[in-house]
């Protein structure tokens, strides 16, 4: 069974491509490659049977193929570097053993066997931890794992355990028990994720808590290592705002300003400037009023309501109301109750523009084509507020913790989904804007690591601490892709 354990995963990777390997952890497969290499050296060096030699060499080849697939599809430079270092290290070790450098062959083989056993004991640990994190952060089962792989590991380990008990080989017996246990955990994470991950959580938290005592306390410095933040600064922020305000002043009555931005990009700052310039003329229409019932909301991969997509809103109703308001009609606005998740199409609140009023449409989707079409024939100013994701995450974490009492961990767990939705639905709106404003200052960028360090210092949970580093890196990647 152990001879072909990698075949199901290899086939699945070839069939699914990039989408399949996204949740496969490279480090676990590098451990497999290292252990298989050492066992091959031991079996060949000890003159084991042809079948046993072939089984171990098959492990080397299969693990190498899986590692190659992960690198080919992910194209992650850090993972490719780790792969190269592992390959060089394994080849160098085989060379030393073959040359019997520093010690006789028997000593090398004994050391190699002990090393292989140690690697096999932790073989599934990286994947188990990743599966657990995916469940906690996204509420879904990690994608891409071929169930037949842990099944074959379990069957093979049971056979190994039987042989070890018969021959009295304690090390093989321990290895077999660990293999059975860890492969069973992976199966549990696939088929009974809620129960399995609930049982795992205290164990993983304890292990991470212990390990964190021996690791650098901060994950922030590591996340920012090598990142150049200077390019993210806006230029002449005051001038940008002034230019938009001057354009807004020239707008006639019953015209419209579309003000859109990804979360925490600084809309409120510009809105205050506009209010000061158009005293008594500005009427704001918040598109958040147009959310539908939570039961009808689109769902993410984990089945949770996803409010960061345009189809979560009744944009056709919003467009109809915008058209009516710009025509001078009196409109009854809908409302949305966040606590109950219910939409009320008739809130009893009315809105009407006076002849000199300017409507400001405020939303992350303000310039959605449906809404812009509603202003055809009217003067309009489309303003997109821009800011790098790594800055916006820090702002959002601090703001929501203070003003909304939202735990940092809850915000971090939803951030990856927000980045995906921004790339798909919000950032494309930037290209059609009349003005793009970035109010991020060099001073804010310089203080960004310290801002994250302050948030990190208030978090005792090692899971949240590690997640902060992951989301900082994810934000930096998103910013790099956007430039």
Nearest-Å Rg of the Cα atoms of the chain is: 29
Question: Does residue 79 have a pLDDT over 50?
Answer: yes
- What is the predicted pLDDT for the residue at 52? 82
Mean pLDDT is lowest, of 2-11, 116-125, 247-256, for 2-11
Question: Does residue 215 have a pLDDT over 80?
Answer: no
Domains of the chain in sequence order: 2-215 (no CATH), 230-481 (3.40.50.300)
Share of the chain above pLDDT 70, in %: 97
Share of the chain above pLDDT 90, in %: 56
Q: pTM score > 0.85 for this model?
A: no
- What is the predicted pLDDT for the residue at 18? 85
Dihedral angle over CA of 125, 131, 135, 138, nearest 10: 130
Average pLDDT over residues 206-227: 73
pLDDT by residue (tens digit) across 63-73?
999 999 999 99
SS3 281: coil
Average pLDDT over residues 84-105: 93
pLDDT by residue (tens digit) across 219-238?
788 888 878 888 888 888 77
- What is the predicted pLDDT for the residue at 482? 42
Could you tell me which residues are beta bridge partners of residue 392?
A: none
pLDDT by residue (tens digit) across 360-390?
999 999 999 999 999 999 999 999 999 999 9
- What is the predicted pLDDT for the residue at 218? 60
Rounded distance between C-alpha atoms, residue 470 and residue 138, angstroms = 14
304-325: buried (b, 16+ CB within 10 Å) or exposed (e) per residue? Answer: ebbbbbbebbbbebbbebbbbb
pLDDT by residue (tens digit) across 250-268?
999 999 999 999 999 988 8
Average pLDDT over residues 327-340: 94
Answer with the residue of higher pLDDT: 222 or 137.
222
Rounded distance between C-alpha atoms, residue 344 and residue 290, angstroms = 9
């Amino acid at each position: 069974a152990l001879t072909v354990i990698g075949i199901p995963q290899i086939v699945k990777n070839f069939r699914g491509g990039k989408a399949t390997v996204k949740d496969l952890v490279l480090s676990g497969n590098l451990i497999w490659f290292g252990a298989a290499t050492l066992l091959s050296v031991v079996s060949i060096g000890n003159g084991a049977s042809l079948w046993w030699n072939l089984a171990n060499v098959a492990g080397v080849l299969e693990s190498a193929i899986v590692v190659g697939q992960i690198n080919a599809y992910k194209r992650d430079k850090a993972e490719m570097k780790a792969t190269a270092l592992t390959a060089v290290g394994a080849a160098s070790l085989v060379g030393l053993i073959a040359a019997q450098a520093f010690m006789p062959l028997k000593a090398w083989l004994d050391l190699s066997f002990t090393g292989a056993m140690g690697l096999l004991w932790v073989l599934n640990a990286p994947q188990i931890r990743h599966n657990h994190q995916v469940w906690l952060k996204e509420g879904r089962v990690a994608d891409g794992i071929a169930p037949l792989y842990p099944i074959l590991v379990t069957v093979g380990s049971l056979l190994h355990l039987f042989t070890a008990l018969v021959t009295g080989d304690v090390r093989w017996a321990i290895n077999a028990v660990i293999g059975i246990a860890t492969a069973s955990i992976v199966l549990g994470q696939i088929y009974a994720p809620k129960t399995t991950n609930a049982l795992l959580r205290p164990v993983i938290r304890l292990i991470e808590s212990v390990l964190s005592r021996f690791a650098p306390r901060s994950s922030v410095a590591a996340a920012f290592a090598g990142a150049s933040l200077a390019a993210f600064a806006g230029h002449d922020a005051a001038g940008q705002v002034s230019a938009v305000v001057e354009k807004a002043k020239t707008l006639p009555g019953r015209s419209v300003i579309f003000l859109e931005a990804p979360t925490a990009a600084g809309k409120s700052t510009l809105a205050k400037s506009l209010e000061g310039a158009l005293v008594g003329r500005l009427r704001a229409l918040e598109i958040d009023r147009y959310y539908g019932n939570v039961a009808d909301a689109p769902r993410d991969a984990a089945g949770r309501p996803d409010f960061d997509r345009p189809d979560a809103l009744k944009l056709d109703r919003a467009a109809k109301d915008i058209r009516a308001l710009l025509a001078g009609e009196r409109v009854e606005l809908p409302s949305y109750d966040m606590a109950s998740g219910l939409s009320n199409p008739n809130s009893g609140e009315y809105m009407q523009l006076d002849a000199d009023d300017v409507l400001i449409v405020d939303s992350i989707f303000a310039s959605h084509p449906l809404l812009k079409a509603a202003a055809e024939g009217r003067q309009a100013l489309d303003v997109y507020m821009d800011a790098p994701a790594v800055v916006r995450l820090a702002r959002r974490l601090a703001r929501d913790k203070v003003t909304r009492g939202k735990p940092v961990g809850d915000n971090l767990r939803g951030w990856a989904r927000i980045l995906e939705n921004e790339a798909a639905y919000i950032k494309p709106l930037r290209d059609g804007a009349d003005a793009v404003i970035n109010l991020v200052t060099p001073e804010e960028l310089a203080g960004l690591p310290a801002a994250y360090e302050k948030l990190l210092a208030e978090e005792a949970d090692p899971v949240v601490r590690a997640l902060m580093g992951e989301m900082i890196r994810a934000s930096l990647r998103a910013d790099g892709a956007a430039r």
